[in-house]
Amino acid sequence: MTRETEYMKIALELAEKAREMGEVPVGAIVVFENRVIGKGFNKRESAQSPISHAEIEAITEAAAYLKSWRLEDCELYVTLEPCIMCSGAIVQSRIPKVYFGARDPKAGGVRSLYTLLEDERLNHRVEVVEGILAEESAELLSGFFRGIREKQKLSKKQPGSGNLE
């Protein structure tokens, strides 16, 4: 098993923790000198905060650990392609390398919709490696949303649900 795969497995464990809490299952870690110094998973629902994405949580924890907003010697591992907000945080924190699992065709800010991390107009560019445990990451997300759709179908079929079918 490669080092990258080992780190992404940690991010997947965090994504699973998010799923157990009813959150969209995305996990992220920040690595510095071969140590995990920041961990995060989605907490938008539990925190009722639009910025409580896995990457933001992990970056915030790593910055506190290093007592610096500059994460110049760190790497970020995240199970899902970062959105534009998280991509901005990655650029602002000066993280030089990001690994992600699955692409996000609806909100991806790294490869799917935008290429913010590699935009030459910015003063900091990030090396991107995609596809680390992509299938596992994608299946965790697909299963989560499939479960939500099934619950919605069941609630529509329940007597007294207001549905006059």
So which residues are the catalytic ones? 55
CA atoms of 20 and 18, how far apart (whole Å): 5
Q: What is the CA radius of gyration of the chain?
A: 17
Alpha carbons 163 and 121: distance in angstroms, whole number: 53
CA distances from residue 47 to 13, 30, 34, 43, 78 in whole angstroms, order as listed? 20, 21, 30, 6, 20
